[in-house]
Amino acid sequence: MFMQQIHISNSSPIISCLILHKPCLHGNSTHPSLQVWSRPSFFPNQKKQKGFRTGCSKIKAVAVSEIEKKSVKVKVTITVQPTVGGFFSDLGLERGLDDIRDLLGQSLLLELASTTLDPKTGLEKETIKGYVHKKQQSSEEVKYEAEIEVPDSFGEIGAILVENEHHKEMFIRNVVLEGFLTGPVTFSCNSWVHSKFDNPVKRVFFSNKSCLPSSTSEGLKRLREEELELLRGNGQGERKSFERIYDYDVYNDLGEPDNDVDLKRPVIGGDQHPYPRRCRTGRPRCKTDPLSEERSNSVYVPRDECFAEVKQLTFSTKTLYSVMHALVPALSTAIVDKNLGFPVFSAIDDLFNEGLSLPPAKARGLLSNILPRLVRFIKDTEQDILRFETPATMNKDRFFWFRDEEFGRQTLAGLNPCCIEAVTEWPLKSKLDPNVYGPPESAITTEIIEREIKGFITVEEAIKQKKLFILDYHDLLLPLVEEVRKLEGTTLYGSRALFFLTLDGTLRPLVIELTRPPMDGKPQWKQVFTPAWHSTGVWLWRLAKAHVLAHDTGYHQLVSHWLRTHCATEPYIIATNRQLSAMHPIYRLLHPHFRYTMEINALAREALVNANGIIESTFTPGKHSILLSSIAYDKQWQFNLQALPADLINRGMAVEDPNSPHGLKLTIEDYPYATDGLMLWDALKGWITEYVNHYYSGSSLVESDQEIQAWWEEIRTVGHGDKKDEPWWPVLKTKEDLVEILTTIVWITSGHHAAVNFGQYHYAGYFPNRPTIARNNMPVEDPSDPEWQLFLDKPEVTLLKCFPSQIQATTVMSVLDILSNHSPDEEYIGQTIEPAWVEDPIVKAAFEKFKGKLMELEGVIDGRNQDLKMKNRNGAGIVPYELLKPSSEPGVTGKGVPYSISI
């Protein structure tokens, strides 16, 4: 039985040997840096732990010195947040039992642990225990209080252990200790504490004094090591919702072969289909395919990776889930023919003007309550109307999508500005096997290019002067063409699009090449399309452009966005929690950049990238979409090229130049993604450099840090294990190595993700600008086809039939609206300092400097968007480039860089 001594006088020598000693704390009562960093953690039953004494059953009568008798009464206040679906939510027997525990003052058992060992025994000091009791309750918070005596000789408090006596989990905001001469001390928790009835293991909150493994206090070393062991788990069994175990698995949960053989999907991850690893859930295997994992209504993610309550209630989970599970079925009912396209362009405009009537819902106005931006409930007719907001691009210029100059501009300042590259070899030539895919030579000749640039320059000179650029999806897509063409309602080509850099610094589209490999007994087919001055050529160019845009949009969503940010980051999160203690300064640096990512990834596996999910149903590759992502990972993804400067150099968009800003000379000076991105990269790297230098006085500390070395080893050999033997992995030996690795990870989770995510509705909300799918072949591929005659009679109809169908378009538009939306509780980069960073004056000063750099970036971006010389950022009907502007208001704004990938 636990002993309670909250109200006992310190005059008793027997009691004095049980209670805590005064901690060594610094600061004053008004200083915000007294907040203590914490990460919730498991801690095994202490009675079984060697050398850690928490009970008093073996107390002997001993002489107690005067200093041991001295103590201070400490008032403990724990603030608990009422949560949805958890604490305070259920009625019934368990709720009644919990109320009784509250009345008895036994809601939470608190223990304080010292950083120092007992000088007499050399063992860890006994913890002091005390129950807190409910003091006050409101709709926003519940406060629990207690009074505990802390002996002077206890030493610094290094950790708090919490046991939840309720049957339901609790979300603890903070623990405040008041009564010390130095003022109150706050442990900022903001974490879930599971019920002891689910798991008897206690939760540990470490203080926010960051330290490397080598400098860990003796009293905390075992806790630090054992917490990491618990977070890793044993790799066995199905994970439970209250657990916090981090482990790896392949993407074997996207298909549903037990429900339909057509929903079987290959395992993504491994030698056959390389891919980053996801979080292991341990669900049972499918009966018809033992390699695949069964799907379920909820997907496990470690408990503290789940969305915060505001985000849960007002944004991501509820809204996106509703689009997938309520709106999409309603659309299927409203649009019976899934292949029905838009008869005329004005019908597309009606989506923004008139809207689409949805079938009556069981609960009137249900969708309008969940999706107020998209769905309006018309009370007079008792009907839900799906009416889209006009995208910013369309609002400024309704014909923006039609213009070739906008096609070129968006490769530098649009939704996917990270694929354009300089042409360095001529003539263009495929690297694929000619015996399988046909002649490797491109149909784009020197004569065609020089005719298009009107003799202004030769091709050789254009390449030498870096004026010729390319979007090249030829070799990536060509191997998939035959399989994709077997699917209903879609088609595919290998494609190339070339652009010329004008004197204005803008890109002018020159040619598009589309290629079909040998198939169905037919030889390879390829054709070049150019801007034309005759109606047939004009419409063929528009159709070819639609195909290239569909390829670029698919690559954007499956590679630039999903693979490079969401997928590649999940192993970093898992490794960080498995190998870096909550006390480790690098854990604390990375923590805000990882919030909610695992939750949104799990949601994506549930309904976005799964078999027959939204991506497969609306994008060109169809059921082969994730396979395409795997091929891109295998052939293109390199960690060292995820760094923005290295990426730009690799694509020929920049060269190293110590005399230029950021040490790079851009090939195209007015390249908004690069110019803004490099400023953000430098700000991030400066902050991270100062942070790393503060904790690592020399590179030898990096090499000897077993936690950081194990972290990097696990990322390379497990999280991205399919590429573990690649020579391009950075080594981790010096402080500079660590800074580069960390900056790369942070850039991907913040700047890169923001650039490819939050402009989605702006640029793709009007889908003709960025169609997700091209449904029909080019009419010239087979002139005997009736489609050729239809094209000659009504080319507009041919283009509309190539675009997404009505249900595909409205589904994608709905999802993009949500993905582009900033949550009301969005955590923008540099906006709020972490409690752990406040505690150290040097770190706090470095953060304030970083914050100032971000404010400077905001002003620079505003200035660039007003500079008339920068024609890729402004002009008649042009939406200014603000995707890398650090802050934003809530909603679909086309700007704002959150810390993490939270949508």
DSSP per-residue string spanning 153-210: GG--EEEEEEEE-SSS-EEEEEEEEE--TT--EEEEEEEEE-BTTT--PEEEEE-S--
Cα gap 803→797, rounded to integer Å: 10
694 is annotated as an active-site residue: no
Helix ranges, 637-671 (H): 644-650
463 is annotated as an active-site residue: no
Q: Of 798, 807, 822, 797, whose CA–CA distance to 767 is shortest?
A: 807
- Out of 561, 584, 593, 624, pick the active-site residue: 561
Q: Kindly list the distances between the CA atom of residue 660 and the CA atoms of 58, 255, 657, in Å, as whole numbers in the listed order.
A: 71, 50, 6
pLDDT of residue 92: 47
CA 329 to chain centre: 27
Q: What H or E segment, with its residue span, contains residue 249?
A: strand 248-249
List CB contacts of 174: < 8 A, sequence separation 6 or more. 35, 78, 79, 186, 187, 188, 189, 190
pLDDT of residue 102: 60
894: phi > 0 → left, psi -120 to 50 → alpha, else beta; which?
left
pLDDT of residue 97: 57
Q: Is omega for the bond preceding 417 within 30 degrees of 0, making it cis?
A: no
pLDDT of residue 369: 74
Cα gap 412→420, rounded to integer Å: 7
- Spans of the chain below 70 pLDDT: 1-69, 83-105, 307-319, 321-322, 361-366
757 is annotated as an active-site residue: yes
Cα gap 26→209, rounded to integer Å: 11
pLDDT of residue 5: 32
pLDDT of residue 364: 59
100 is annotated as an active-site residue: no
Residue 159 has a CB neighbour count (10 Å cut-off) of: 27
Q: Of 863, 858, 802, whose CA–CA distance to 830 is shortest?
A: 858
Instruction: Give just the sign of the alpha carbon dihedral 652, 657, 659, 661.
Output: positive
Q: Amino acid letter at 124?
A: E
Contact criterion met (CB below 8 Å) for 645 and 655:
no
Bridge partners (DSSP) listed for residue 248 = 279
21 is annotated as an active-site residue: no
Residue 433 has a CB neighbour count (10 Å cut-off) of: 10
Q: Of 883, 855, 876, whose CA–CA distance to 758 is shortest?
A: 883
Cα gap 150→148, rounded to integer Å: 6
- Out of 474, 662, 753, 822, pick the active-site residue: 753
Three-class SS state of 303: helix
Residue 661 has a CB neighbour count (10 Å cut-off) of: 12
- Out of 10, 252, 612, 757, pick the active-site residue: 757
- Out of 21, 167, 566, 822, pick the active-site residue: 566
Site of tokens 């970083």: 850
Q: What is the largest CA-CA distance in the chain?
A: 105
CA angle 656, 661, 662 (to 5 degrees): 60
Q: In this structure, are strands 35-36 and 185-193 parallel, antiparallel, or unpaired?
A: parallel
Cα gap 216→197, rounded to integer Å: 32
Q: Kindly list the distances between the CA atom of residue 163 and the CA atoms of 42, 101, 130, 224, in Å, as whole numbers in the listed order.
A: 10, 13, 11, 18
Cα gap 170→89, rounded to integer Å: 11
- In this structure, the chain runs to a length of 903
CA angle 21, 23, 25 (to 5 degrees): 165
pLDDT of residue 366: 67
Cα gap 121→403, rounded to integer Å: 80
846: tokens are 């470095």
Q: Of 560, 559, 595, whose CA–CA distance to 576 is shortest?
A: 595
Q: What are phi and psi of 171, to 5 degrees?
A: -110, 105
Three-class SS state of 110: strand
